[in-house]
Amino acid sequence: MNDTDDSPPPGFENVAAGTHDVPGVNGHSSIHEAGNGGAAPQSQLQDPETDDIRTVQHPDTPYSSAKSFDELPINQELLQGLYNEMKFERPSRVQADTLPMILNPPFRNLVAQAHNGSGKTTCFVLALLGRVDVNTAQPQCLCMCPTRELVVQNMQVLQRLGRYTKITSTSTASDRYEIATRQTRITEQVIIGTHGKMKTWVTKGALATRYIKLLVFDEADEMLKADGFGSDSVRLIRQLQKDSATLQILLFSATFDERVRMFAQKVAGPDANQLFIPKEELSLEVIKQYRVMCSSQEDKERVLSNMIFPNCERLGQTIIFVQRRETGRRLHTAMEAAGHRCTSIQGDMGHEARDRVISEFRSGATKILIATDVLARGFDVTQVTLVVNFDVPTERDSRRPAFETYLHRIGRSGRFGRRGAAFNLVATPQERDIVDSIQDYFKHEIPSLESTDEDRFIAVLHDAGLTDVEA
């Protein structure tokens, strides 16, 4: 095994090492650039409580739901990765429905929406690995992500799941291809990345697209937004479709607003398979959500320092979301001054500094992480039990509620079936209206707490499993 890091992957921090026998598998080979992958143990994945999963299949589809991974058209090396490395036992509901549609000919496009912790990542990572011809030393499968942190995390899952295969992989987070030219041609078979460096690789001829058969968009709603990565994503799709008339496109996200959903369906085409869960079912019941009525921005800091943290002796780790970088820096200083060790991350930090902050938080060296929405999507740390929206999420105009961002933010707690809580700190009429809109949109009540009512705080924290003290 080359360059293998056997540290626990994200989502496996508390899972003891162990193996499960897979008949007919002898020995293993490593996936290149192997590292510490991440996904939840299968017993901790969250199947939707509702039966209202809307699956739209092509009329001529031969697919049926898979009751076990052994029913899928994947090789023994990938099965060994599923059972030995990922500790999976059976497909989750979302995996059972989507994997047969993804992995069986005629390899139709897919638009899939399912809530956080349901096993989406495993679906598209299995596709990335399962579609590769190991005898062809050319890029064959691409996965596009909105942030570098998500690239790193998905790469870790790929490395674990593909540990026993001979498939090669790289990512835009690697420094291996910093200088991109036709002379430094990329030959890895699976590539995960963000648009910036991927575009450079293609433009400069370092990444040939002739053999690419699968294109995955993780957090597809973000990747298709008109005011975000939409134009880059459409440009990449068109370029790859010129080279391959049979290109398979997979669009995965926990959220799709109606406009982006319609665009995603247009991108995927009329023959695409689809899977959607009603938005009312996406607001996870396992996460206790509250609004905390504060008198000012300074009162928000007091609530954090004096009410929440001192009363959470069973608090695991906390992510505090802010809307702007300046707010994050100011809050970081205030929390440190109050004796709470924390770290913060913003999009303008250098890669080395961002990696250090993430590493410290994953290891548990720091318990409180202050972040902008750069970490709202896909960031998995098992021990996160509390999310605080210091600033309620809004769209770029700072007026309209960002419904999808809210769902992604609170989904950082209560991962993989664990209990968690989310506090929305509200100090202005506009913030109150935004939380009201979020409540109405998801049809999920967000009850109020007064910032000075310590007994009520303790009762809420006890109900969320964050303290043993009873009010």
Structural domains of the chain, with CATH: 42-278 (3.40.50.300), 287-463 (3.40.50.300)
More confident residue, 438 or 365: 438
Helix (H, G, I), strand (E, B), or coil: what is residue 369? strand
As given in the structure block, the two tokens for residue 298 are: 């300074």
User: How many alpha carbons fall within 13 Å on the CB side of residue 448?
Assistant: 11
Q: Is the pLDDT score of 19 beyond 70?
A: no
Q: What residues does 384 pair with on adjacent strands? A: 317
Alpha carbon distance 369, 346 (integer Å) = 11
> Cβ distance 236 to 144 under 8 Å?
yes
Q: Is the pLDDT score of 21 beyond 50?
A: no
Q: Is the pLDDT score of 187 beyond 80?
A: yes
Q: Is the pLDDT score of 373 beyond 70?
A: yes
Closest CA to 406 of 269, 271, 287: 287
Alpha carbon distance 204, 233 (integer Å) = 18
Helix (H) or strand (E) holding 121: helix 120-130
**From 207-221, 248-262, 414-428, the region with the lowest mean pLDDT:** 414-428
pLDDT-derived band at 72 (thresholds 50, 70, 90) equals very high
Cα Dmax for the chain: 68
**From 46-60, 182-196, 270-284, the region with the lowest mean pLDDT:** 46-60
Please tell me the predicted confidence (pLDDT) of residue 1.
34
Please tell me the predicted confidence (pLDDT) of residue 6.
47
* Percent of the residues in the chain that have a pLDDT greater than 70, as a whole number: 81
Please tell me the predicted confidence (pLDDT) of residue 225.
84
Please tell me the predicted confidence (pLDDT) of residue 4.
41
More confident residue, 343 or 52: 343
Rounded to two decimals, the pTM is 0.77
Handedness of CA 355, 82, 143, 286 (dihedral sign): negative
Helix residue ranges per DSSP H, 11-112:
76-80, 93-103
Q: Is the pLDDT score of 63 beyond 80?
A: no
pLDDT-derived band at 227 (thresholds 50, 70, 90) equals confident
Highest mean pLDDT among 109-118, 178-187, 396-405, 452-461: 396-405
> What pLDDT digit, counting tens, does each position of 24-34 carry?
333 333 354 43
Please tell me the predicted confidence (pLDDT) of residue 414.
62
DSSP state string for 23-68: TT-----PPTT--------GGG----S-S--EEE--TT------SS
